[in-house]
Amino acid sequence: MKRKDFSFLNKKGIPLSSRICSPEIPSDKGVIFSHGLFSTKDGYKITGMTEDIVSCGYHLMTFDFSYAGESQSNIKEISFIQEVADLRAAIDEFKKHGIKRLHLMGSSMGAAVSLYVASEFDDFESLILIATPVNLLEIIPEMTPDDVDKLDPEGSSKLSGIEINNKFFKELKSVDLVKAARSISKPAILFHGKLDSVVPFVNHSILLNNLAGEVASYVIDDGDHNLTRQEDIAFIMNHIREWLRRFDD
């Protein structure tokens, strides 16, 4: 497996830290992974699956969103809409490396971002989504929709002890991921832990019932939100491996 660490610029000119791991044999197939809210491209889950994805003959691109990891400018400025723009820029960059057959993969907030981007273009093969929040405000138990309405748009609030601009919470309320799902006809594979206390399992059912295309659903009955146990990663990877083989020549 070959590895390339580099940065590329998003549309705002912000350098985003990135990594592409590649198979030894030539390939035009790729998986691009979007990480969760307070995670990074070096998260345990995707790190644990990298070698297996590459062994399937796929390039794997991971990157840090504008306000995360090595790309981080200021976490206070985090924005869902900016993460969407970051993923679009990452896709453009990935294609410059010869990727023609692309799969969008994400975990938690990164899965929501992948879903949203997939609803706006169809130049991809499939979606691979883990613990996807459909109602984005549900991941912020400290706030109700009414609370968000009352927030000063120029102010800030704390999320998990971290100061975040209120514009972020207002963005989350405005994003309609059910509508996005209904516009996606490409195949999708979904994973969710039934004991997820961060993104309640009902989100999985909502997504399953609203995606317009073929959907494969896999539930880990005793799985939590993180799904970082060795057996969780092995379960997810075994099904991803079978999924990717469907798209081989």
Domain interval for residue 241: 2-136+179-245
Q: Flag whether 125 is in a domain.
A: yes
Q: Flag whether 215 is in a domain.
A: yes
Q: Flag whether 168 is in a domain.
A: no
What does the pLDDT look like over 91-135, one tens digit per residue? 999 999 999 999 999 999 999 999 999 999 999 999 999 999 999
Instruction: Give the number of domains in the chain.
Output: 1
Q: Flag whether 173 is in a domain.
A: no
Alpha helices in 107-156 (DSSP H): 109-118, 145-150
The C-alpha angle 163, 167, 171, rounded to 5 degrees, equals 120
Q: Flag whether 72 is in a domain.
A: yes
**Amino acid, res. 58:** Y
Domain holding 218: CATH number?
Answer: 3.40.50.1820
Q: Flag whether 167 is in a domain.
A: no
Q: Flag whether 169 is in a domain.
A: no
What does the pLDDT look like over 33-84, one tens digit per residue? 999 998 999 999 999 999 999 999 999 999 999 999 898 678 899 999 999 9
What token pair was written down for 140? 């912020």
Q: Flag whether 18 is in a domain.
A: yes
